[in-house]
Amino acid sequence: MILSLPFGEIVQFVAVLLVGGAFMGFIAGLLGIGGGAVLVPILYELFRILGVDPVSLMHVSVATSLAVIIPTSIQSARKHDERGAVDRDLLRDIALPVVLGVLIGTVIAKFVPGGTLKAVYIGVCTFVASKLISGEGTWQLGTQMPEGRLGKAIGMVIGILSTLIGVGGGAMMTSYMTLYGRSIHRSVATSAGLGPIIAVPATLGYVWAGWNIENLPIGSLGYVSLLGAVIAAPASVLTAPIGVSLAHGISRRALELSFAAFLIMVAIRFFSDFVF
């Protein structure tokens, strides 16, 4: 599909993906998120311009974002872990329920329309933006992280939602940890470690879910646009360490507010598709 475009438009397509990937990697390192909240709307607009079937448009955007999250989150998690900031015990406790949630989310994504994915995306963006705006410590449910069935159930929900909207789960994990009194830096680092746990099985799930679907972008494997992922991923991997370095050295309040504003704009953009 992209190969049929004029050369100038191909250059623009590649440039936007490189810039989007670089910004995604930076934000992933800084906020401990997979970066899908940044990349999904960029991919959505690019694939829309390229004429991807509206029925599959959101699925392709989400799936390709998850593929890019794999190397980005691995790089981000490794850099945070080198600083000793990752709560490995919590990751071990929550990993299996999260993966189970990813599998459930993949099955749901195969059968629900793109509009449902947009609605979930709007809801999660709105919640995370509200949490960022409120600031650290203003929303707190307790000082002890939930254990047993409740903790596992929360992990499963994080896995389901992350799969449906194409993120590495970091924004939700960070919100979850700070709700129970964990420091923002500890939460960010641990959330970065959650990215690969979600992104790898979720990407494979979208390959399965999109198998034999017609009118997908050229070079796609299921719903995953390999071309889009290959262009965006290297840029995101290069910039993730920069975000990690800044995350451990500066006040993050201004960036939290900026990212919250971005999420709100994205939510409004997708909400407009329902209204107009």
Distance CA(177)–CA(184), nearest Å, equals 8
Q: How many whole angstroms separate alpha carbon 7 and alpha carbon 15?
A: 12
Domain boundaries, the chain: 2-275
Per-residue pLDDT for 162 more than 60? Answer: yes
**Is 183 in a helix, a strand, or coil?**
coil
For the stretch 8-19, pLDDT in tens is: 667 777 887 888
pLDDT of residue 222: 92
Residue-level pLDDT at 110: 85
Q: How confident is the model at residue 97 (pLDDT cuts 50, 70, 90)?
A: very high
- Nearest Cα to Cα of residue 218 among 60, 19, 101: 60
CA dihedral of 260, 162, 197, 97, whole degrees rounded to 10: 120
pLDDT band (50, 70, 90) for residue 22: confident
Mean pLDDT of 103-114: 88
Q: How many Cα neighbours within 13 Å face the side chain of 153? A: 5
Cα–Cα distance measured from residue 239 to residue 25, given in angstroms and rounded to the nearest whole number = 5
Q: How confident is residue 88, by pLDDT bands cut at 50, 70 and 90?
A: confident
List, in sequence order, the alpha helices (H) in the chain.
7-31, 36-49, 54-82, 88-111, 114-134, 148-165, 170-179, 184-209, 226-247, 253-275
Amino acid identity of 71?
A: P
Segment 168-194 mean pLDDT = 78
CA 218 to chain CA centroid, nearest Å = 23
Q: Alpha carbon of 79 to those of 75, 116, 188, 239: distances in Å?
A: 6, 35, 12, 12
pTM: 0.79
Mean pLDDT over 128-153 rounds to 77
Spell out the SS3 assignment of 112-175.
CCHHHHHHHHHHHHHHHHHHHHHCCCCCCCCCCCCCHHHHHHHHHHHHHHHHHHCCCCHHHHHH
Nearest Cα residue to 163 out of 117, 229, 208: 117
- Tens digits of per-residue pLDDT, 67-87? 988 888 888 788 778 877 788
